[in-house]
Amino acid sequence: MKKKRLFFQILFLLFLIIGTFLILRSQPKFRTDNGMVFGTIYQITYQSHEELRAEIENELKKVDFSLSPFNKESVITKVNQNEPVILDTMFTYVFNLAKAISSETNGAFDITVAPLVNAWGFGFKHDIRPDSITIDSLRSLIGFNKIKLEVSGEDHINTPRIVKENPNIMLDCSAIAKGFGVDVVARFLDKKGVKNYMVNIGGEVVMKGKSPKMKPWRIGINKPVEDSLSISQDLQTILHLSNKGLATSGNYRNFYYKDGKRYAHTIDPRTGYPVQHSILSATVVAKDCAHADAYATSFMVMGLDSAKAFCQRHPEIEAYFICASEGDGFETYYTDGMKKWIIQ
């Protein structure tokens, strides 16, 4: 009797193993696509029966054609050059979102900052370090309230257009376009029924479901090591995150030295000068990556005290700050809501 029971137990276990194997084989496999967009690297990992690379690249091309200042034919390039252009829905959405966040942050975020970014040598045009007279002159071109989106109804067709106070005003969406691009790909994957994915464009990330190991996705926050070549990948902390957008802005990699002085790439639109406060990096978790991207830049401009106060007024936003301390050390601060995602 015992032998018979053992036989059926082994038989049941065998069927269980075979069944599990067949179920796993029937699951769609994880795929990873890599490439370049917006002057940076993207990596997209997703679980699907279909190969979606071509369609994903098509979505990214739409964003590039709308918002990349490096694309000579893009919508934003033609707006900057005051050329006739039809504003697509991507451009109008990002423009309106940028205006709203600019208002919320009292101008710490401002997509009209392009002339200053270029003058300091961090944009798509390069110049020498500007003097105070140049800065004062350029500041007359800066201000989110100096541009607006108007809709005209010629021939019964509502046609949006950008109206500038000064034709020399230029737009720079680099602090929100990557995050928006991540959201575009994430929405595409959602429409395709993909349940598990991670979209990463230059460190701006959206994760959903589970990783290829069938565990929660892990995302690291880098230590703020002075590393303009982006060689160091030492991690300050690791998060488990899903169904949120995450973005990090930092000054410890994008900078240059001139005449013995270090110039960070984050420009305060309100002063015209690179920021000089203690925040080395700001990581933001928000409802989508476009918001996270814009707020991360805003916090780098604001400084820690103002950023902490902003987060307290906006509990839907979580943030992790790494700041310089005495000597070569650094210290961290994070909102209470970040605690549930921190695993290391």
Q: What is the pTM of this model?
A: 0.85
CA distance linking residue 57 with residue 35, whole number of Å: 9
pLDDT at 255: 47
Q: Report CA-CA distances (Å) from 265 to 254, 256, 286.
A: 6, 8, 23
Q: How many CA atoms lie within 13 A of 334 on its CB side?
A: 20
Query: Nearest to residue 264, comparing CAs of 236, 308, 297?
Result: 297
Torsion of CA 109, 113, 119, 120, to 10 degrees: 10
Q: pLDDT of the chain along its 344 residues, tens only?
A: 555 565 556 655 665 565 455 444 557 899 999 998 888 899 999 999 999 999 999 999 999 999 998 899 999 999 999 999 999 999 999 999 999 999 999 999 999 998 888 887 765 555 567 788 888 888 999 999 999 999 876 554 568 999 999 999 999 898 999 999 999 999 999 999 999 999 999 999 999 999 998 888 999 988 876 544 444 467 888 999 889 999 998 865 554 444 444 445 688 999 988 888 888 889 999 999 999 999 999 999 999 999 999 999 999 999 999 988 776 678 899 999 999 999 86
CA distance linking residue 269 with residue 318, whole number of Å: 24
Residue with tokens 């000054």: 251
Residue with tokens 């005051």: 82
Question: In angstroms, how far apart are the furthest CA atoms of the chain?
Answer: 98
What's the distance, Cα to Cα, between the start and end of the chain in Å? 53
Residue ranges per structural domain of the chain: 30-341
Q: DSSP character for 154?
A: G
Provide the token pair at 182: 């991540």
What architecture (CATH level 2) is domain 30-341?
Answer: Roll (3.10)
pLDDT at 323: 87
pLDDT tens for each residue of 84-108: 999 999 999 999 999 999 999 999 9
